[in-house]
Structures are given as structure tokens and as C-alpha cells.
Structure 1
Amino acid sequence: MTPENFAPHQLPRLTHPDGSPVRALVVDDEPSLAELVSMGSRMMGWETRIAHDGPDAVAAAREFTPDVLILDWMLPGFDGPEVLSKIRAFLPDVPVLFLTAKDSTENKIEGLASGGDDYVTKPFSLEEVLLRLHRLVERSGVTASDAAEIVVGDLVLDLDLREARRGGESITLTATEFDLLRFLMENARRVMSKGQILTNVWEYDFGGQANIVELYISYLRKKIDAGREPMIHTVRGAGYVLKPAA
């Protein structure tokens, strides 16, 4: 669980409309783990605070007014769901990513039912946590991206108009195709597994139906690569990668 192979700066930078940084509150009773997540968030340009137990987490949230919570399930004082309940009393819309050692579907449902927006089990990949946090904050509507476009080779994705262009030619995308293309372009030149795509584009595991990824990749290829040098490539046994045409 190390950050050296991950480059958070590749993600579109998120800030408040006034240019101030996103604020993240990391709550975990394992100091090294809390510092790791905090470090990753700082690498994305965010301001962070750390708390190690339930009462400190609630007090920190009152003072710090975070834009997103990274919240351990099991905490001294009171547990993560109770911390969330108390914080949501004065920050009703703050999104939360639960971290937990519990791994069953029942536990996942319990976490989401308690008000969590997303759920990651330990041990986890720092890359996955940061990507999920980025998506949570982006969807919350409290930030403005400093990148109106993502550009890879001759492919341009306009984030404001939600349109794509390749070689200057406009490409019409459905909402899901846009989200999938955006994820691939934000991670250009990096192989993304079907699991990573499901998690970040469809939010959860979609019942394990990885074939939906294959289906939408085929849709994108027909629109992005048809009649052109291909940009979307299958890496057998690993996933998919988008990169500039040779």
C-alpha cells in the first residue's frame, strides 16, 4: 500500500470556486494509515486534518468543516456510523468514504445504509481510495475543476459541454460512455482493470457483471476508434488502456 507508482496530479485538480483547496478529514485509529491517506490527499492539493477517535472526529469536523470524510468503521469512543450521524447533524451533505476491515456484502450494505457514500475494505490500494475520493468530491458539487478539457493525443473531452472530439470531429456520447471515456482519459497510458472501471464508473461492483465493461468499451471503440488508429487497447488478462495513437 504505497504511493510511489501513483500520480494523483494526473487527476483534474479540484478546488472551491474561490480557488481554496478541498478539505478532507481522515479519521482512523491507526496513525500510519491515517497519515498515508492524508499524504495522498495532500498530493492532490487538498488540505487535510486527522482524528484518531470518535469524539475528536466530531470536534475536528465542527472546526474544520470538511468537504469529504474518510472514516474508519471501528473507532475508540464511538464507531464510524455514530460519528457520521453526529457530523451529519451539522454538515448534512458531507460525503463519506468508509474504511473497514469488514468484507462481506452484508457489511457493505450496512455501511451504505448508515449514510455512507462509498466503502473500501482494508487492506486497500491508496490509488483506489484517492480515485474514489476524487469522484465523491467531484459529484458533491462544492468544487470547480481547473481543467475544462482533458486531452490525450488528438482526442479532446470537454468537461463543461460533456462532448468529445477526435481530430476536430465531434463525437456524440451517452452519459455512461462519457463517464467511461473520462475515466480512461484521466488514467491515460495506465492499464485499468475491469474491477477498477466498474468501481469508478458504475460506483460499485454491479453484481460482478464485468461483461458490462466489455459492452461499453465496444461502444466507445465504435465511436472513438472507428476508421482511425486505435486509442483504446485490450491488455489480455489485465484490462484496458487508452493512449495516443501511434
Structure 2
Amino acid sequence: MIANVLTIAGTDPTGGAGIQADIKAISALGAYAMSAVTAVVAQNTQGVRSFTAMQPCLVADQIDAVFEDVRVDAVKIGMVANADIARVIAERLTLHGARNIVFDPVMIASSGDSLLDRDALRALRDHLIPLATVITPNLPEADTLLKSSGAWSDQRLHDAMEDLLLLGPKWVLLKGGHLDGSSESTDLLLGPDGASRRFPAPRVDTRNDHGTGCTLSSAIAALLPYFPVPEAVSRAKAYLHAALIASDMLDVGEGRGPVHHFHALWPTPLDKAGE
């Protein structure tokens, strides 16, 4: 049976991040994608111009409309914009008994622009993180959630994962893409068994990394109905790595372009030339 996956996130009119990237990643991995919009974001590959958050009641209505009609096998949460939306998402997901929840605590776009009101951080910590099967913060997001700072040593990475786990999720995937001086991008996974797992991948020399966090978390959500968390993370990481390698096949925007979500499905230019 094909899994139905709901993404709850903000938009990206250029299609590389946000809810559009979520839908592409979920679809590319063979699941059926559904969506509830939390904010309309005016952004492109060069940055965020502005955003308008949805009314919390409209976010709630979208979520209810999906759950009252469709079996939902997994949920991905991305940009929530403000505290009221965070609380209403948690309320509705709890009411509907949502499972396989992947929360990507989006706070800052890859361009450096803020995507979260200052008052929302506590709501993320208190209401959304405890519902999550997996949270997927990068290092700056981990610092913000834990109100910490400092150089990232191996010990500090492990301590941060343990501290994030204490916030209530079942699993923490700490993304290491922001670590400097390494030829690899290594993500670390910690769960209820207390075992730390490493997911290394060679760094890809490309400027097309817009929406990588959205893509990875959505890929995990698409795979969780079929695989245990460590296997879902491993497969999602492999998918994203291949999408980064293939991203230079695309010509989208003048800034940090998107990854190639459909790299395994679309014909290459050489394939087309041979037709």
C-alpha cells in the first residue's frame, strides 16, 4: 500500500524549498504527498523577501480536512512561523493521533533570513518537539533550541544530541553540514536505545543546496511508514546526496539553486539527445 504523507510548512514560489520541495521529495520516494500551508513566503534562490503567516484556524482547518478524509501514515512539519501556529499544529495532530512525525525546526532560511517569530521558540520546544518521532535540526538550530554556543567538538555534538533528546522526541538527527574543515558531511542519530549512529557522506561541490533540510526531513517522513528510523534516515540521506550530485543538471535561479529531487526519474540530457 502506498503511504500518504502530510507536509505542514511554508511555501517557496521557486519550488526549491518549503512545501514545494517537500511534495517533490515525498513523491520521488513513492509516497502520496498532501499539504497544509502555514505561511506564504516570497522567496527565491537569493533570499527571503517577506512572508505572511496563515491564520491558525485556517492551518487547523487544513489539517482537519486531511485527517477527516484520508489515512495519514506520516507527517512532516517544517516552517511554523509563530507560536500560535505551533500550538494549533500540536493540538490537531494530538487530536487525530498522528504518527511518524518528522519535525524540521526551520528557523532561518539557507540565505540567512529569519522564518520564525521570536516568541515561537518556546512553543516549538513545549508543544511540537515532544510529539516528534524524529527531529532534524542543523547545528545553528540545535544551538538555538538549547540556548547554547561554542565550537563543535565530538563531545559537544554528543552532549547536544542527549540534551535535545531530553526535550521529548523519540529520535534526534543532528545534521553536521555546518561543520567546517571536513571533506564529509556527517549526520548523527540518537534514539531511545542510547546508541549513536553516524551517517557520513562526501561533501558535494555545488552551490545548489537550497532546500536540503526540507528535502531530507520529507524524505525521512516518506520512508518511515516502511522502515525503522535508522534505515529510513540512511535511505533518505542517500537520496539527498544523489539529488545534490545531480543538482547541476538544473538551471534554476541566480543564487543557491535547488537539489534535483527527480534525479532518478527524469531522463538526462544525453537520454533526450538519443531519442
Query: TM-score, normalised to structure 1's length?
Result: 0.41
Q: State the TM-score, normalized to the length of structure 2.
A: 0.37
Greater RCO between the two (CA within 8 Å, min separation 6)?
A: 2
